[in-house]
Structure formats: C-alpha cells, structure tokens
Structure 1
Amino acid sequence: MPDPKIFQIIAQRCEASTQHGGWMVGDDLTLDITGCHGAGLHTIWLHPTQAPQEFVGPSPDFTTATVTDAVQILLTQDAPPA
C-alpha cells in the first residue's frame, strides 16, 4: 500500500490540498483505493474489464466501469468546504 503522504504531495503539485478530503478515480484496489482511503480521500474504483477481485481492505465509495460514469458521480457530489 502506498504511503498516504504521496497523495498529499500530488495534491500540492496540483496546487490543491487533501485537508478537506478529495477524490481519486483508480483501477487498482490496493494501490489506488486503499492508498487513498489512508489519505482520507473518497474513491471510485474503475474496472472496465475486470471481474471482482479477492480483496481485503476498505471498499471503494463507488464502483463503475467507465470514466464517463466516474465523472457523473463526481459531478453529483458535494464540493468540499473552501
């Protein structure tokens, strides 16, 4: 599992912050989903062709097969406080 600090570094490089949460769309349950939960982020697991995996860890907040569906999920979520 990646160190949660990596997500903070990435956010800083994008001139953003993980302080009030945020979102990650990823295709790897261990690296993306578990890592982001450790950093306090919400997650969307993108798995267009994968069958569900055996996995022990936090469940993604949402699961979808397409990037378009992931964007629609993000657009319906409340924005974090400024």
Structure 2
Amino acid sequence: MSIPTETPNVIVQNPVVRKVVGNTLAGATLVLSIATLVDGAIEQINYSDITGPAAIIIAGLFGIFQLTVTSPNVPTKGDHAA
C-alpha cells in the first residue's frame, strides 16, 4: 500500500496552499535569521528594533502552522501498512 501524497487537513484542505504558506514562513524565517546575523556582525548596521518583533511574529505563526496544519498530516506508524 502506498502512502498518499495529498493528505487532507481540517484547517487548510488545499495542499497547494499548505505548501505555499509553509514555504513562505520558512523563507521568512531564513531571511530573518540572515538579517539578524548581519545586524550582529556589522557594527554600522542596527535594525534590532525590527528583527526582534519580527522574530516573535514569524516564530509564532510558524509554530501555529506546524502544530495545526503540518504535524497532523505526517503519517504515524499505525496510519499505513508497512
């Protein structure tokens, strides 16, 4: 038995939307991480007033998305035949 590629989700049913939102949050997290590293490495750059609140918002959104959309779609050992 094969594992289905498009698993349903109660919160976001469209797999394309789930992928786009997940990738957008992942990209925003990566950009924020790089911006924070640059801010810390270069003394002339100081935009920590922006990166701090942005980190809180993005991390919160990513956590909510992971727990409510992504995690329920990951098959567990009992969900499919080996």
Q: TM-score, normalised by structure 1?
A: 0.22
Q: Which structure has greater helix proportion?
A: 2
TM-score scaled by length of structure 2: 0.22
Larger Rg: 2
Identify, as 1 or 2, the structure richer in strand: 1
